A and B are shown apart, each in its own frame.
Chain A
Amino acid sequence: MALVRIDALHKHFGSNHVLRGIDLDIEEGQVIALIGRSGSGKSTLLRTINGLESFDEGCIEVDGERIHPHETDLRALRQKVGMVFQQFNLFPHLTVGQNVMLATRIVRKLGDAEARELALAMLDKVGLREKFDAFPDQLSGGQQQRVAIARALAMQPRVLLCDEITSALDPELVNEVLAVVKTLAAEGMTLIMVTHEMRFAREVGDKLVFMYQGRIHEAGDPQELFANPRTPELASFIGSIN
């Protein structure tokens, strides 16, 4: 049984049909790399999985939690789905530790000591334990993004969504974030990432999903697809980024 099931998903932005029937099953522990040109619907697809975007038809199921079009009660789903954003989106008025602890205390209702311990463990995982009392603007972009990962992990999600998480970083900071993601993948975390890091997608991804005009145009083993794209659209996309 797949951990994430996406079934005949359709979405419109006004007259623009951005998702045109997406079917996608994701197994526990899989690392999915979503690629495609801007406007292909890859970010929109990712954002529907935790309800940041609504959809018009179809169904999404994560670990038994089903959501239907225009669902408004998303709390249970969001506890199973973590998300990391391109712009980090740390809470600037809170320290690193408070950023990581906020939702574990409010949503998961952990006590102070327990929340603190968990936050320290998560920060340890991303190598930033000593930044517990720092404020976000005292950190580099790469460090901020690692805190954002720790914050999402502290909710102990079943799936982690990553929306172009290295796109806003200076080139020399990209690797420290990718290294964290790689560790998560190795530990068996289920990851769905929209990414432009093709080398990373090829190395770490279990499945490559190429989106084109609101549909999944091609999907399969990353090594194979990069070596032998079956469609001219994927071939031209790979050609354009190399």
Chain B
Amino acid sequence: MNDISTWDIARNLLDGALWTIGLSLTAFVLGGIAGLLLLFARIARNPLARRLAQGYIEVFQGTPLLMQLFIIFFGGSLIGLEISPWLAAAIGLTLFTSAYLGEIWRGCVESIPKGQWEASASLALTHVEQMRYVILPQALRIAIAPTVGFSVQVVKGTAVTSIIGFVELTKTGSMLANATYQPFLVFGFVALGYFALCYPLSAYSRILERKIHGSRAH
């Protein structure tokens, strides 16, 4: 049964890693858009919008990602929707990502001093104009480092989707381990793969953080 070479293992894992990257990017981009909407709802004047967004965030931060994936995957088929593992994984990770990014960004917006709101209000800017021209440009600078840092969590989060059968890096690894009886070698490669994806991101996040704290405000 040992006709699978190390080269074959590496090649298959590389294929899986591409799906991991694809899922991470999808979740990060769509989750970013949804997170932006959540951010606006969280800091809206309308109390209903604030409460709904807070409820959403609490649900997704208060339950394991795996349960969210199960509910989307099995819940879909329960109501007659044919949801592929890929679609369930993309939806689940997007929702998970949006809840965290929305909350990270809200923290950044709220760290902008109250005087900035007051000064822009006294110049007769509307709430949206205050956000657009005064608050968000400043919050964005602060947000870059933690946002890049969180992307590491998204990449590692994709591993969980292997349990609902989405064939990404981890799932490819377990299939190869079963076929080759070399789990240590295979999962060693898998771990290296995740490290190769995550380390540059967290290193970049650290550089950004140092840059922002060390530089002036522009």
Q: Could you tell me which A residues sit within 8 Å of B by CB distance?
A: 50-52, 74-75, 78-79, 81-83, 85, 87, 89-93, 102-103, 106-107, 135-137, 148, 151-152, 155
Asked if B125 is at the interface of the complex by the 8 Å CB criterion, the answer is yes
- Min Cβ gap A49→B in Å is 10
Check if B126 is an interface residue, CB within 8 A of chain A: yes
Cα distance, A4 to B124, chains bound together (Å): 18
Q: A107 to chain B: which residues have CB within 8 Å?
A: 123-125, 129
Complex CA–CA separation, A45 to B133 (angstroms): 28
Q: Which of B135-189 contact A (CB under 8 A)?
A: 137-138, 141
Contact indicator B115/A79 (Cβ below 8 Å): no
- Is the pair A87, B115 in contact by a Cβ cutoff of 8 Å? yes
CA A107 – CA B125 in complex, angstroms? 7
Q: Are B217 and A78 in contact (CB under 8 A)?
A: no
Check B218 against A83 for contact (C-beta < 8 Å).
Answer: no
The smallest beta-carbon distance between A70 and chain B, in angstroms, is 13
Q: Which of B125, B138, B218 contacts A103 (CB 8 A)?
A: B125
A93 and B218 contact, CB distance less than 8 A? yes
Q: Which residue of A lies closest to B141 (CB)?
A: A93
**B216 near A137: Cβ-Cβ < 8 Å:** yes
Docked complex Cα distance between A14 and B129 (Å): 30
Contact status of A135 and B218, CB under 8 A, knowing A52-B118, A85-B118: yes
Hey, which chain A residues are within 8 Å of B218, CB to CB? 92-93, 135, 137
- Known contacts A89-B116, A89-B119, A91-B116; A102 and B138 CB within 8 A of each other: no
Is there contact, CB below 8 Å, between B123 and A89?
no
A-B contact pairs, 13 of them (CB 8 A): A51-B121, A52-B118, A52-B121, A78-B121, A78-B123, A81-B122, A89-B115, A93-B141, A102-B134, A106-B125, A137-B216, A137-B218, A155-B124
Once bound together, how far apart are the Cα atoms of A52 and B126, in whole Å?
A: 13
Inter-chain contacts of B113 with A (CB < 8 A): 87, 89
Contact, CB under 8 Å: B138 / A93:
yes
- Verify A93–B123 contact, CB threshold 8 A: no
Among B88-135, those with CB < 8 Å from A are: 113, 115-116, 118-126, 129, 133-134
B132 (CB) vs chain A CBs: closest residue: A106
Knowing A92-B138, A93-B137 are in contact, say whether A103-B118 is a contact too (CB < 8 A). Answer: no
Q: Which 5 A-B pairs have the closest CB atoms?
A: A89-B119, A103-B123, A78-B124, A89-B115, A83-B122
Asked if B119 and A91 make an inter-chain contact with CB atoms under 8 angstroms apart, the answer reads yes
Query: Which of the residues A74, A81, A89, A136 comes within 8 Å of B118, measured between beta carbons?
Result: A89
- Residues in chain B near residue A74, CB distance under 8 A: 121, 124
Known: A83-B122, A103-B120, A151-B123. 8 other contacts (CB 8 A): A50-B122, A74-B121, A89-B116, A91-B119, A91-B138, A93-B138, A137-B217, A152-B122
- Report whether A85 and B116 are in contact in the complex, using a CB–CB cutoff of 8 Å: no
Highest count of chain A CB atoms <10 Å: which of B113, B120, B123? B123
**A106 adjacent to B115 (CB under 8 Å):** no
A155→B123 contact, CB < 8 A: yes
CB distance from A46 to the nearest CB of B (A): 11
CB-defined contacts of A51 to chain B, threshold 8 Å: 121
Rounded to whole Å, the gap between the CB of A130 and the closest CB of chain B is 19
Contacts of B119 in A (CB 8 A): 83, 85, 89-91, 148
Query: In the complex, what residues of A have CB within 8 A of residue B122's CB?
Result: 50, 52, 78, 81-83, 152
Contact A102 B133 (CB under 8 A): yes
